[in-house]
Structure 1
Amino acid sequence: MLKSRIRWILGAALLAATPLSAQPAIELHGASQFNDDHAFTKAMAKFGEVVKACYGKPINFVLHKNSELGLEKQYFEYMASGKAVDYAIVSPAHMSTFSKAAPFIDAPFIFRDLAHWTKVIELDLFKPIADEIAKRADVMLIGYGGGGTRNIFVNKPVRNMEEIKGLKVRVQGAPIWSRTFQAAGMAPTVIAYNEVYNGIQNGVIAAGENEAAGVEAMRFYEVAPQLAMTEHAITIRPLAFSGKTFRKLPKDLQDCVLKGGKEGAAHGRQVESSEDTAKLEALEKAGKLKRIPFADRAAMKKAVDPVLIEYAKEIDAHGILEKINAVQ
């Protein structure tokens, strides 16, 4: 009996003396469609670094890259169910199943320029939409990445409204993208992101739209080397975190996740916005694509504005649109 008691005391003392580093580490899984060089992947890597430094206790981040766990649509579904993926950068278009207002975060033609885009994010004007997503999908938007200016990559030069008339262009799945591109005279179609290259190659579509990082990473320039500089949107890509995972974490780690979300996403914005022009210049210098000036951006916006206003009213986001337009 005495020997058993001594063994118990020694065991307890040994456990108490075990350093934090030897305790089991919490493990969080992230997902990216891209490799280490992409701004989204860099933002999520920064997120992990900030959280680790802030928390100071055992924690591991496993970032699955190169579409290992599927595409962004799947990442969001996984986070909503609390399985496989704990954090990821996801296009707002893929959140529309849970919140019809979500795609408005990234709608075309709502930002005048990069400075306007930056102020809207800093003022957190999309908070009502983020709150709705958290409530209905149980996925938190803990930061906003993005910053790339989106243009149309196409297999022939298009320079104005007349030349884009009837253009078969791939757009994101949210209705606002199809409606605005139709209003501009194009023939938008929704296909999966990883099918765009083959779609252009096989003549199913003639064009797509993306920021420089996407054009480079997916090698769209190989099948559509003409880049019409429509500058129709500036990306916002929320860094999302599973609400189900978040509630399982200790309070101090929850605080670090929120801190890491803001700082990681801000890092991603800086990377993407600063690299955007440089990537296009490098691709053009290498003879892989040609930037085509687009003369009718103002006319395109004029055609699209009524659709944006109508859409904002439909999803109860008209007040948000007015606040965005009021930002100087």
Structure 2
Amino acid sequence: MDRRTLLGGVAAGTALLAAPHVVRAQATITLNGASQFNDEHVFTRAMSRFADLVKQYYGRPVNFVMHNNSALGLEKQYFEYMSAGRAVDYAIVSPAHMSTFSRAAPFIDAPFLFRGLDHWNAVLDNDMFSPIAEEIDRRARVKLIGWAGGGVRNIFSSKSASNMAELRGLRIRVQGAPIWSRTFQAVGMAPQVIAYNEVYNAIQNGVIEAGENEAAGVEQMRFFEVGSNLLMTQHAITVRPLCFSTQTFSRLPRELQAAIVQAGKEAGAFGRQTESSEDSQKIAALEAAGRLRRIAFTERPAMQTAVEPVMAAYAREIDAERIFARINAQNA
């Protein structure tokens, strides 16, 4: 090898070391997702749709790696990882896990917030939670790029009830967030906070008479065995944001960023449509199998009216009055 060739090779190697971005630009980008569930769960399917759409809109190779079945922990950990910009780049996470960064985050998933599925869809399609999303992006460095969810929560009970009077005094398990106890008390029930995995035994032993959940939870936890009456109160509809790490996002090419934003919105809509339709199918299947009895609730508007003062006070407490006003004004 002559001296000129040797010097040329050294110069080329030095240039590559001085400009590592050139090497990175040629490498295929890998994005890591996480789910607590298996491939068949609607959350995992929504994230799979997200990956497919990103590839379609970006038009260049991108590797998506899904870590299912809680391989990387639970949703709370996923959010922490995304906030730190490591391990997890995207995941579907309950708003409850965002409250450290935004007092208003749990409002996204509050009971008695929506009048029904049409109202719920209209609120999400019109991006009414964008002020909360902006705060979470700013403070937690996590973007909410899509709105999934769609499980309609009803009351499973050991006793039948079809109106407000028959609900009065019902001992029911509720989630730990104070707004759940406040609203259920306003309706006239006697809410109690009990660990989720203790609900079955608590009803079986007469400690409580009822709980509340979407159809998937009633089926998975076999709550129909101790609470075979499904009171169709439709008191809550789940909202599950599709999240993406802001730190990861900022490092990506602009074309890929645009694809992620577009795909996130569409994948969230897919998740909502899928979960809400499967929710009603699960109820129908359980009823057809004789495992539960669907009880029509005749005073849903009266229930909504009873909780309005409580919801308004809660909105003031967490600085979400404007959002609440817009939601109430939304026609469905």
- Report TM bin, short chain: 0.7 to 0.9
Compared with structure 1, are the counterparts of its residues 135 and 229 closer, same or farther at alpha carbon in structure 2 (3 Å cutoff)? same
1:125 aligns with 2:131: no
Matched residue, 1:243: 246
For 1:26 and 1:198, the matched residues in 2 are separated by 48
Please point out which of 44, 61, 80 is paired with 1:58.
Answer: 61
Comparing 235-244 with 154-163, greater Cα deviation is found at: 154-163
For 1:324 and 1:272, the matched residues in 2 are separated by 22
For 1:47 and 1:193, the matched residues in 2 are separated by 30
Does structure 1 conserve the Cα–Cα contact (< 8 Å) formed by 2:233 and 2:300?
yes
Q: Which amino acid aligns with 1:134?
A: D
Q: Percent identity at matched positions?
A: 64
CA drift at 1:190: 4.4
1:98 aligns with 2:101: yes
For 1:89 and 1:99, the matched residues in 2 are separated by 17
CA drift at 1:113: 2.0
- Structure 1 vs Structure 2 CA RMSD: 3.0
* TM-score, scaled to structure 2: 0.84
Please point out which of 84, 89, 93 is paired with 1:86.
Answer: 89
Q: Considering only CA atoms, is the larger Rg found in Structure 1 or Structure 2?
A: 2
Please point out which of 19, 32, 37 is paired with 1:29.
Answer: 32
Matched residue, 2:310: 307
| Unaligned 5+ runs, structure 2 | 14-22
Matches within 5 A, 1:104-183: 104-183=107-186
For 2:197 and 2:9, the matched residues in 1 are separated by 60
For 2:195 and 2:78, the matched residues in 1 are separated by 14
CA drift at 1:63: 2.2
Comparing 44-53 with 81-90, greater Cα deviation is found at: 81-90
Classify the secondary structure of the residue corresponding to 2:294: strand
For 2:227 and 2:184, the matched residues in 1 are separated by 18
Compared with structure 1, are the counterparts of its residues 221 and 97 closer, same or farther at alpha carbon in structure 2 (3 Å cutoff)? farther
CA drift at 1:45: 1.1
Classify the secondary structure of the residue corresponding to 2:162: coil
Matched residue, 2:294: 291
Matched residue, 1:278: 281
For 1:31 and 1:169, the matched residues in 2 are separated by 33
CA drift at 1:201: 5.8
For 1:271 and 1:247, the matched residues in 2 are separated by 30
Comparing 114-123 with 205-214, greater Cα deviation is found at: 205-214
Comparing 62-71 with 94-103, greater Cα deviation is found at: 62-71
How many residues align structurally? 320
Classify the secondary structure of the residue corresponding to 2:274: helix
Matched residue, 1:258: 261
CA drift at 1:239: 0.8
1:232 aligns with 2:235: yes
Q: Which amino acid aligns with 2:108?
A: I
